[in-house]
Amino acid sequence: MMLDLLDLLDGPVADLAAQASGSFGVFIRVGAMMALLPAFGEQVVPVRVRLGLTLAFTAITAPAIAPQMPPFSMAPGALLHLIATETVAGLALGIVLRLMIMVLQIAGTIAAQATSLSQFFGGAGVDPQPAMSQLLVMGGLALAMLNGLHVKLAELILQSYTLFPPGAFPDAASLGDWGVAHAARAFTLAFTLAMPFVILSLLYYVALGAINKAMPQLMVAFVGAPAITFAGLAILLLTAPLVLPLWHQAFDGVLSDPGGMPR
């Protein structure tokens, strides 16, 4: 009786082992991405939660990717090769997505420095950053989550196996050009989003210089400080509803076509 039961279990156990071995590479890639992903990979998210999210994304995407995965081998050389290639692919994708969050951080820092609000309220997150950066980052992450970030990330994982084939290291030159292009795009976008504050700062200092030239005895710095503070907060109130959708459009572009070279 016991032998018959074991014989019946041989088939399901073998199928389960095959599925688990095929999912191992997916788990490594998703785990490397999870260390840097926006929202899901933030430092304030506990490690156990991130591990659970990694298992969830692996369970969702592994069945569709299993036919593309190379045969699983327990040989140390083959296992280390699979871990290394999938880790590189996951980190590359995670860094590109993290750059889009850094866009908001850089834009907020530029805006805060331009309007003398860099120390206003201090930093509210794990990384020290101006309150403007924290506000833009939290607003951007909330907007991304409301627009189905989890679904788009699952689609990105599926697309990533076309961009980075499993079990193969990406070409170093192509990967470098791809990363540099995305970094350049991130800085360009960050400066574009902060442009209203830079223009405000330029106008403020030009006006300050003209007033100081006309009335040298007036302490224009003390008069202008409240003005630039109020103007900076007013510009933030007016531009944040416009800046965040522009950022989200660029973020969606990266999620939908991670392999595309930014222009």
**pLDDT tens string for the chain (263 positions)?**
444 444 444 444 444 445 555 688 889 999 999 999 998 988 888 889 999 999 999 999 988 888 787 776 777 788 888 889 999 999 999 999 999 999 999 999 999 888 877 655 444 444 567 888 889 999 999 999 999 999 999 999 999 998 898 888 888 888 889 999 999 999 999 999 999 999 988 888 888 878 777 777 777 767 777 788 888 888 989 999 999 999 999 999 999 888 765 55
CB burial class (10 A; 0-12, 13-18, 19+) of residue 58? buried
pTM value > 0.85: no
Tokens describing residue 174: 């192509």
The secondary structure of residue 236, as a DSSP letter, is H
Please compute Rg for the chain using Cα positions.
Answer: 25
Domain extents for the chain? 2-117+126-256
